[in-house]
Chain A
């Protein structure tokens, strides 16, 4: 419970920090200062009038389409540093769009489970919409279809500048349908976008098994009561695979475990060994 509260505070703080250019309400333009040169390791549209930082997925597509060597070493470097340190932890603690999904799922209604095969969709989105199609068409197709961009960018920009309504066309209608479908799905399914379509989550998921921060389960203690599954925001049975590609490292499972079987460690510095070292000393 304490962990969840701390995480909520962190999510609120990060969402507020990433979207704190309130001057845009008066200027009706997006932030154009130096912070926009930094890619935040989260899905946060940089066309949002309040956004302070660049979106890594938008940046990757831009380099794929227009870069001289097709890939942004800078952006991949930032994502790789975050991923190899903590895996998908940024999804659970930093990402404003992940936070929105957590909030909408709190609406009391009938809940649905997501078929596991759908979780592979995010890799398809990453390969096709972020790399292949932008490379061939020189257009950022993930951005054009991104629900975060529709929700955080398109709608606020239209509210700020009603003259833009004259430019609204079929693509905008399609984008709003996509936004509506995803928002509805978030009410019924745990983090549907993160698990099935987020290319940033797909990139971070490659690191879950090879990050410095990892989770582990003591199988001798575990009674497979599925309490971890109940509290997990991505429906993972932690005892089957504590470093599953969909684990967003929220750590809600650790305090929920009735037999304290779940622990986390820094690779190379196992917790038990450190404890033993302290006891021996």
Chain B
């Protein structure tokens, strides 16, 4: 079982990644990341 755990986890997280991409999260991350949040870096 010990030898299978990392591979099960890896498969699970690949599925999460694919699910996130399918739900359009890359675009959401991009929309957030291209905006400079001054408040978030302590300015403003």
Binding site for B on A (CB under 8 A): 29-32, 34, 36-39, 45-47, 54, 58-59, 62-63, 67, 72-81, 83-85, 139-140, 143-144, 149-150, 153-154, 157-158, 164, 167-169, 171-172, 174-176, 207, 210-212, 267-268
Who on chain A is nearest to B14 by CB?
A81
A residues near B42, Cβ cutoff 8 Å: 144, 149-150, 154, 171-172, 174-176
Residues of B within 8 A of A (CB): 2-7, 9-10, 12-21, 23, 25-30, 32-34, 36-44
Q: Which B residue's beta carbon lies closest to that of A30? A: B36
Closest to B17 in A: A77
Q: Which residue of B lies closest to A164 (CB)?
A: B43
List 7 additional A-B contacts (Cβ < 8 Å) besides A78-B17, A80-B16: A29-B36, A37-B29, A45-B41, A63-B28, A74-B21, A84-B10, A153-B40
Contact A169 B19 (CB under 8 A): no
The answer to whether B6 touches A84, judged by C-beta atoms less than 8 angstroms apart, is: yes
Contact A267 B6 (CB under 8 A): yes
Contact A34 B30 (CB under 8 A): yes
Contact, CB under 8 Å: B9 / A210: yes
A contact residues around B2 at 8 Å (CB): 267
Distance (whole angstroms) from the CB of B1 to the closest CB of chain A:
11
Of A73, A75, A139, A167, which contacts B43 at CB under 8 A?
A167
Majority secondary structure of chain A interface residues (helix, strand, loop or mixed)? helix
Contact of A212 among B10, B41, B44 (CB under 8 A): B10
A47's partner among B9, B17, B41 (CB-CB below 8 A) is B41
Q: Nearest Cβ in chain B — how far from A27, in angstroms?
A: 12
Residues of chain A lying within 8 A (CB to CB) of residue B25 = 63, 72-75
Residue among B34, B39, B40, B42 with the most chain A CB within 10 A?
Answer: B42
Complex-state Cα separation, A281 to B16, whole angstroms: 41
The docked-state distance in angstroms from the alpha carbon of A146 to that of B13 is 27
Closest 6 CB pairs of A and B: A77-B17, A74-B20, A80-B13, A73-B20, A175-B42, A37-B30
Once the chains are docked, how many angstroms separate the CA of A65 from the CA of B36? Answer: 17
- Residues on B with C-beta less than 8 A from A150 are 41-42
Pairs across A and B, CB under 8 Å, 28 listed = A30-B36, A32-B34, A36-B29, A47-B40, A54-B30, A54-B33, A58-B33, A73-B19, A73-B23, A73-B25, A74-B26, A75-B20, A77-B16, A78-B17, A79-B13, A80-B13, A84-B9, A144-B40, A149-B41, A154-B41, A154-B42, A158-B43, A164-B38, A167-B38, A168-B43, A210-B6, A212-B10, A267-B3
In the complex, the answer to whether B6 meets A58 with C-beta atoms within 8 Å is no
